[in-house]
Amino acid sequence: MSSTESHDDKSITSTHHHENISRVQITGEGQEFVIINNRKYYRHDLMKAFGGYLNPGVSPYPEININPAPLGLCAFALTNLVICLYNARAMGITIPNAIAGLGCFYGGGIQMLAGFGEFWTGNTFAFTALTSYGAYWISYAVLFLDSFGIKQAYEGTGQWEQAQALFMLPWVIITFLLWLNTLKSTVAFSGLFFFLLMTYILFTAGLMTGNFGCTRAGSVMGVITSTFAWWNAFAGVATPYNSYFLLPSIPMPDNTFLKLKWFKS
């Protein structure tokens, strides 16, 4: 690093006693590098970690060179899209049982495997989210499998919709808690959990009240959620070396990097 570059470096020392990052420097001719505790990273790579790596905090690349997040996000997005189309009665379909295989294997099993992969990268948020929603899809799918006899147990009781509503309600709480952890990330990352939260709220309300309008509105929110999930998945695999198309990362208003002006040219 030349003396001119050293003179132009911008640095900041953390004022939070619980912050692991003690010193940050921005350097390079185009200020394209960030030095965190004497380790150099590309600013773009650190920003991409928010969505493409399903990590809501400031984080460099993990020591284990693996990123399971795009796989988990794709599994969630596809399964969620299909069930939302069924719930909206697309093409006149009113029986959602065809979701069972997809929910058990792709949205459930594969997403959980991706979540376990995040355990090895040290990404606690992604590990929690992917394994939780993977388990959700498996548990939701088995509701429609005759071998489990769950739906049959409610026949003639009039309690089936209310039972599903109570099944959905705790996922509103879980999704809300996860969304709170994305408010300082990026618009695409936070938007994913916000619209998922709206989906669960509307589905739960539709089941409790029997109002199909709420269910259809929840399906619309679900389609938007899947779009955000695929957006983040693409951000996790697309690089200047394999794609002509790179998605922009828009930081949330209280994003730490935005305050430091790390993403301004």
Distance separating alpha carbons of residues 232 and 203, to the nearest angstrom: 24
The model's pLDDT over 211-255, given as tens digits with 9 standing for 90+, comes to 999 999 999 999 999 999 999 999 989 888 889 998 887 888 876
The model's pLDDT over 5-64, given as tens digits with 9 standing for 90+, comes to 443 444 433 334 444 545 667 777 766 676 766 777 666 555 444 677 777 765 555 566
Domain ranges within the chain, ordered by starting residue: 3-63, 69-237
Cα dihedral 199/201/202/207 (nearest 10):
120
The model's pLDDT over 72-122, given as tens digits with 9 standing for 90+, comes to 999 999 999 999 999 999 999 988 899 999 999 999 999 999 999 999 888
Q: What is the pTM for the complete model shown?
A: 0.79
Mean of all residue pLDDT scores within the chain: 83
What is the per-residue pLDDT for 12? Answer: 36
Percent of the chain with pLDDT over 90: 60
Distance separating alpha carbons of residues 52 and 41, to the nearest angstrom: 16
Distance separating alpha carbons of residues 148 and 34, to the nearest angstrom: 54
Characterize the bridge pairing of strands 10-13 and 33-36.
Answer: unpaired
